[in-house]
Chains A and B, each alone.
Chain A
Amino acid sequence: MFIEIFFVPQKVVGDTFGYEFLSNLAGKSLGKFNANIIIDFQECTFFDGNLCAVLGNILQSLKDRNNTIQIINLSGKVRGAMGRNGFLTNFVSNINVPVIYHNSIPYRKFKLEDESHAKDFFKDQLFGKQDMPHMSPLAQKEIIRNIFEVCLNAVTHGGCEYVYCCGQVYLRKVPAKALITFADLGNSIKANVNNYLRKNLTGNEAIMWALADGNTTKTQDIPGGLGLKLLQNLIYLNKGKLQFVSGDGFVEIKDGNPTFFKLDIDFPGTIVTLELLLNDPNFYYLGDEDKEWTNIF
Chain B
Amino acid sequence: MKMLNVNIKELINSDTALTPDTGSIVFSLLDKALISKEIIELDFNGIEVITSAFLNAAIGQLYSKFKSDELNEYLKVKNLAVEDRALLRKVISRAKEYFNDQKALNERFDSDFE
Contacts and interface: CB of A to CB of B under 8 A. Distances in A.
Interface residues of B, number: 41
B19 A115 contact: yes
A109 B22 CA distance: 21
A77 interface: no
A223 B53 contact: no
Interface residues of A, number: 31
A271 B51 CA distance: 20
Contact of A227 (B51, B64, B99): B51
B36 interface: no
Contacts of A230: 52, 87, 90
A116 B18 CA distance: 9
B95 interface: yes
A37 to B, nearest CB: 34
B82 A226 contact: no
Interface string A71-83: 0000000000000
B16 interface: yes
Interface string A109-132: 000100110010000000000000
B86 interface: yes
B68 interface: yes
A261 interface: no
A227 B51 CA distance: 8
A141 B49 contact: yes
Interface stretch (A5-13, A56-64, A192-200, A286-294): A286-294
B48 A119 contact: yes
Contacts of A138: 83
Interface of A: 112, 115-116, 119, 138, 141-142, 144-145, 148-149, 152, 156, 214, 221-227, 230, 284, 286-287, 289-290, 293, 295-297
Interface of B: 14-16, 18-21, 23-24, 48-53, 56-57, 60-61, 63-64, 68, 71-72, 75, 77, 82-83, 85-92, 94-95, 97-99
10 contacts: A119-B48, A142-B83, A149-B51, A152-B51, A156-B20, A214-B98, A221-B61, A221-B64, A224-B52, A296-B89
